[in-house]
Amino acid sequence: MAFHHYILVCGGTGCESSKAGDLFNQIAIALDKENLRDGVQLVKTGCFGFCEKGPIVKILPDEAFYVNVKPEDAAEIVQEHIVKGRPVDRLLYREAESKEHARFDDISFYQKQFRIVLRNCGAINPESTEEYIARDGYLALEKVLTSMTPDDVIAELKKSGLRGRGGAGFPTWRKWEFTKAVQEETKYVVCNADEGDPGAYMDRSVLEGDPHSVLEAMAISGFTCGASKGFIYIRAEYPLAIRRLQIAIEQATAMGLLGDNILGTDFSFSIEIRLGAGAFVCGEETALLASIQGERGMPVPRPPFPAVKGLWQKPTVINNVETWANIPVIITRGGDWFAKVGTEKSRGTKVFALTGKIQNSGLVEVPMGTTLRDIIYNIGGGIPDGKAFKAVQTGGPSGGVITAEYLDTPIDYEHLQELGSIMGSGGMIVMDEDDCMVDVCKFYLGFTVEESCGKCAPCRVGGRKLYNILDRITKGQGKQEDLAKIEDIGHAMQRASLCGLGQTAPNPVLSVMKYFREELEAHITEDKCPAGVCKDLVHYFILPDKCIGCTLCARRCPVNVISGERKQIHEIDQSGCIKCGECYDACKFGAVVRR
Q: Is 452 a residue that touches another protein (CB under 8 A)?
A: yes
Q: Output the smallest distance, CB 299 to another protein, in A.
A: 9
Q: Is 453 a residue that touches another protein (CB under 8 A)?
A: yes
> CA-CA distance, 544 to 552, in Å (whole number)?
15
Q: Output the smallest distance, CB 496 to another protein, in A.
A: 4
DSSP string covering 313-378: GS-EEEEEHHHHHHHHHHHHH-HHHHHTSB-SSSBSEEEEEEEES-SS-EEEEEETT-BHHIIIII
Nearer to another protein, 273 or 496 (CB): 496
Nearer to another protein, 272 or 481 (CB): 481
Residue from the set 147, 495, 558, 575 that interacts with another protein by CB under 8 A: 495
From 67-75, 490-498, 533-541, 543-551, span contacting another protein (CB under 8 A): 490-498
Residues 506, 507, 510, 511, Cα dihedral to 10° = -160
Q: Is 287 a residue that touches another protein (CB under 8 A)?
A: no
Residue from the set 350, 455, 523, 579 that interacts with another protein by CB under 8 A: 455
Per-residue burial over 22-53, b if 16 or more Cβ lie within 10 Å, else e, is ebbebbbebbeeeebeeebbbbbbbbbbbbbb
Q: Is 473 a residue that touches another protein (CB under 8 A)?
A: no
Nearer to another protein, 143 or 491 (CB): 491
Q: Is 462 a residue that touches another protein (CB under 8 A)?
A: yes
Q: Output the smallest distance, CB 442 to another protein, in A.
A: 15
Residue from the set 428, 449, 537, 572 that interacts with another protein by CB under 8 A: 449
Nearer to another protein, 19 or 472 (CB): 472
Q: Is 361 a residue that touches another protein (CB under 8 A)?
A: no
Q: Output the smallest distance, CB 452 to another protein, in A.
A: 4
Q: Output the smallest distance, CB 343 to another protein, in A.
A: 22
Residue from the set 11, 381, 400, 458 that interacts with another protein by CB under 8 A: 458
Q: Is 341 a residue that touches another protein (CB under 8 A)?
A: no
> CA-CA distance, 316 to 230, in Å (whole number)?
9
Binding residues among 517-556 for another protein as defined by CB under 8 A: none
HEC letters along 464-525: HHHHHHHHHHHCCCCCCCHHHHHHHHHHHHHHHCCCHHHHHCCHHHHHHHHHCHHHHHHHHH
Q: Is 479 a residue that touches another protein (CB under 8 A)?
A: no
Q: Output the smallest distance, CB 450 to another protein, in A.
A: 6
Nearer to another protein, 407 or 457 (CB): 457
> CA-CA distance, 15 to 47, in Å (whole number)?
8
Q: Is 501 a residue that touches another protein (CB under 8 A)?
A: no
Residue from the set 300, 388, 404, 559 that interacts with another protein by CB under 8 A: 300
> CA-CA distance, 68 to 219, in Å (whole number)?
38
Residue from the set 19, 159, 373, 491 that interacts with another protein by CB under 8 A: 491
Q: Is 278 a residue that touches another protein (CB under 8 A)?
A: no
Q: Is 9 a residue that touches another protein (CB under 8 A)?
A: no
Question: Of the candidates 148, 122, 144, which has an alpha carbon nearest to the alpha carbon of residue 135?
Answer: 122
Question: Of the candidates 399, 443, 433, which has an alpha carbon nearest to the alpha carbon of residue 417?
Answer: 399
Number of residues that bind another protein (CB under 8 A): 32
- Pair type for strands 349-356 and 362-367: antiparallel
From 14-22, 41-49, 461-469, 556-564, span contacting another protein (CB under 8 A): 461-469
Please report, for residues 166, 234, 364, the alpha-carbon distance to residue 277 in angstroms, rounded to integers and kept in the order given: 19, 9, 28
Q: Is 418 a residue that touches another protein (CB under 8 A)?
A: no
The DSSP element (H or E) to which 189 belongs, if any, is strand 188-193
Q: Is 309 a residue that touches another protein (CB under 8 A)?
A: no
Q: Is 288 a residue that touches another protein (CB under 8 A)?
A: no
For residue 566, count CB atoms less than 10 angstroms from its CB and return exposed for 0-12, middle for 13-18, buried for 19 or more.
exposed
Q: Output the smallest distance, CB 470 to another protein, in A.
A: 13
> CA-CA distance, 96 to 101, in Å (whole number)?
10
Residue from the set 239, 454, 576, 590 that interacts with another protein by CB under 8 A: 454
Residue from the set 64, 298, 325, 376 that interacts with another protein by CB under 8 A: 298
Q: Is 282 a residue that touches another protein (CB under 8 A)?
A: no
Q: Is 496 a residue that touches another protein (CB under 8 A)?
A: yes
Per-residue burial over 576-592, b if 16 or more Cβ lie within 10 Å, else e, is ebebebbbbeebeeebb
Residue from the set 369, 380, 427, 463 that interacts with another protein by CB under 8 A: 463
Q: Is 290 a residue that touches another protein (CB under 8 A)?
A: no
Q: Is 492 a residue that touches another protein (CB under 8 A)?
A: yes
Q: Is 464 a residue that touches another protein (CB under 8 A)?
A: yes
Q: Is 585 a residue that touches another protein (CB under 8 A)?
A: no
CB neighbour list of residue 490: distance below 8 Å, 6 or more residues apart:
462, 466, 506, 509, 510
Q: Is 85 a residue that touches another protein (CB under 8 A)?
A: no
Q: Is 294 a residue that touches another protein (CB under 8 A)?
A: no
Residue from the set 465, 475, 535, 594 that interacts with another protein by CB under 8 A: 465
> CA-CA distance, 203 to 195, in Å (whole number)?
7
Q: Is 468 a residue that touches another protein (CB under 8 A)?
A: yes
Nearer to another protein, 460 or 539 (CB): 460
> CA-CA distance, 355 to 310, in Å (whole number)?
35
Q: Is 23 a residue that touches another protein (CB under 8 A)?
A: no
> CA-CA distance, 254 to 278, in Å (whole number)?
31
Which long-range contacts does 542-548 make (Cβ < 8 Å, 24+ apart)?
Answer: 542/569, 542/570, 542/571, 542/572, 542/583, 542/591, 542/592, 542/593, 543/590, 543/591, 543/592, 543/593, 544/569, 546/589, 546/590, 546/591, 547/589, 547/591, 548/589, 548/591
> CA-CA distance, 265 to 260, in Å (whole number)?
9
Residues making contact with another protein (CB under 8 A) = 279, 296, 298, 300-301, 303, 449-458, 460-465, 468, 485, 488-489, 491-492, 495-498
